[in-house]
Amino acid sequence: MRAFLCTAGSESALVDEIARAGRPGKVAQLAPGVVALDGADSADGAKHDDDPDPVFARQTLPGAIAVEGASVRALAETIFAAIDDPVDGWPGPFLLHALTHAEPPPGLGSRAALIAREVLALLDGRRRRAFRRHRSSDDLAAPFDDRCLLVQLLALTRERFLVSVAAPRPLPTGGFDLARWPGGDAPVATDRAPPSRAYQKLEEAFCWLEAAPRAGEVCVDLGAAPGGWTATALKRGARVVAVDRAPVALSLARHPHLSMTIGNAFTYAPTAPVDWLLCDVVCEPQRSLALVDSWLSGGLCRNLVVTVKFKGRDGYGALDALPPIFARVRPAFARVKQLAHNKNEVTVMVRKAEAPSKMI
């Protein structure tokens, strides 16, 4: 089976999304934040190249198999037996992620970590050459691509785990089908300076994009107030044009690299292309999607991060407007994800390949 990890509460959106993609097999929720497509993938995870990169999944477990064991030792042995051949036969580095479902009871996280340590100890004892290729998932500077092997152990209960072993595959829309961070949750450092916690979802988007505004680049931040996103761009040395009906927080207002425009995000247009469009306006999904289309198709920005917000659990079908836009504009990276810091919203992330523009 192929398992997908999502935010708790988004399982039905993910089930619908996978079902709408028309894949053969039965799709169902296995646990909070875990959805599985039965009948997909061989057990070694080899066949996951038709992965649909669902919006509501941040991580995929290709070729996942369910294993059971009553004790730590029994589970570790069963998991070792399941991963031994692919890990031992893999020429490059491997990573091991110990995970739980999205609403774990107390102790399940430490149980998963313990089993992972036991499995590594078995590898160390029995497959020393393979064990030496183990890389820590904390090493974010290490390359993560199709030369790596990702082993994922997901605790569904204390006795029942999903096990997946697969290499990340490049996606036509940029990036890889597997996320490098455990469970697909990119690490976001706590920062007390920004005037709102909204900065967290922007930082998370920068991780996915593997890019962020650089010193001297120009960002337009639509719906900027109170200024979490603006603060995030300013702290990197970017120049920011903040547009909102309300002013940003006083702590930012006098920043020398900030220009505040009080006005309507939907009628604002830059006088020349900018490096980044950032947009977190609260509005109907169609308005945010139209904004993505007009800024990308009009060549007004090189990169963008735009949130699309929903009321209730309906209306996600509006996102079908995005793939044709990406197909037309053909950016180097174009993905849409419900990030860990998104509530009932998703984030559109685009990075074009062209050289930076320094004008506005």
Ligand X SMILES: C[S@@+](CC[C@H](N)C(=O)[O-])C[C@H]1O[C@@H](n2cnc3c(N)ncnc32)[C@H](O)[C@@H]1O
Q: Is 227 in the site for ligand X (CB under 6 A)?
A: yes
Residue closer to ligand X by CB (options 3, 205) is 205
Decide if residue 343 touches ligand X (CB under 6 A): no
Decide if 217 contacts 276 (C-beta within 8 A): yes
Indicate which residue of 309, 337, 343, 358 is catalytic. 309
* Selected range binding ligand X among 64-72, 122-130, 217-225, 315-323, rule: CB under 6 A: 217-225
Q: What is the DSSP string of 75-136?
A: HHHHHHHHHHHHHHT--S-EEEEEEE-SSPPTTHHHHHHHHHHHHHHHHHHH-HHHHTTB--
Nearer to ligand X, 140 or 282 (CB): 282
Asked if 228 interacts with ligand X (CB under 6 A), we say yes
Q: Let me know if 268 is exposed, middle or buried by CB neighbors in 10 A (0-12, 13-18, 19+).
A: middle
Residue with tokens 């690490």: 187
- Which residue, among 168, 159, 94, 164, has the nearest Cα to 127 in the 3D structure? 94
Which of 214, 245 has the CB closer to ligand X?
245
**Please, what is the minimum distance in Å from the beta carbon of residue 217 to ligand X?**
18
Phi and psi, residue 139, nearest 5°: -80, 85
Residue given tokens 């505040």 in the structure block: 260
Question: Which range of residues in 16-24, 40-48, 276-284, 324-332 is near ligand X by CB under 6 A?
Answer: 276-284
Q: Give dist(CA 267, CA 278) in Å, integer.
A: 15
- DSSP sequence for 122-191: HHHHH-HHHHTTB--TT-TTS--STTSEEEEEEESSSSEEEEEEE---B-TTSSBSS-SSGGG-------
Which member of 280, 296, 302, 334 binds ligand X (CB under 6 A)?
Answer: 280
Element of type H or E holding 266:
none
Residue (178 or 340) nearer to ligand X, CB? 340
Distance between terminal CA atoms of the chain? 50
Q: Which residues between 231 and 270 bind ligand X (CB under 6 A)?
A: 243-246, 264-266
Residue whose pair of structure tokens reads 């509006």 in the numeric block: 318
220 binds ligand X (CB under 6 A): no
Question: Which residue lies nearer to ligand X by CB, 128 or 192?
Answer: 192
Return the range that interacts with ligand X (CB under 6 A); candidates 103-111, 164-172, 226-234, 326-334.
Answer: 226-234
We find the least distance from the C-beta atom of residue 283 to ligand X, in angstroms, to be 6
- Among residues 164 and 307, whose Cβ is nearest to ligand X? 307
- What binding mask, one character per residue, do residues 173-212 give for ligand X by CB under 6 A, x or -? -----------------------x-xx-------------
Which token pair is 314? 């309906």
Q: Is 47 a catalytic residue?
A: no
Kindly state the smallest distance separating residue 293's Cβ from ligand X, in Å.
17
* Residue 280: CB minimum distance to ligand X, A: 3
281 makes contact with ligand X (CB under 6 A) = yes
Q: Using the rule CB under 6 A, give the single segment among 56-64, 133-141, 223-231, 320-328 that binds ligand X.
A: 223-231
Among 94, 176, 229, 295, binds ligand X (CB under 6 A): 229
Single-letter amino acid code for the residue at 339: L
**Do the strands 218-222 and 239-244 form a parallel or antiparallel pair, or are they unpaired?**
parallel
Smallest separation (angstroms) from ligand X to the CB of 140 = 24
Known catalytic residues? 309
Residue numbers of the site for ligand X (CB under 6 A)?
A: 196, 198-199, 223-229, 243-246, 264-266, 280-283
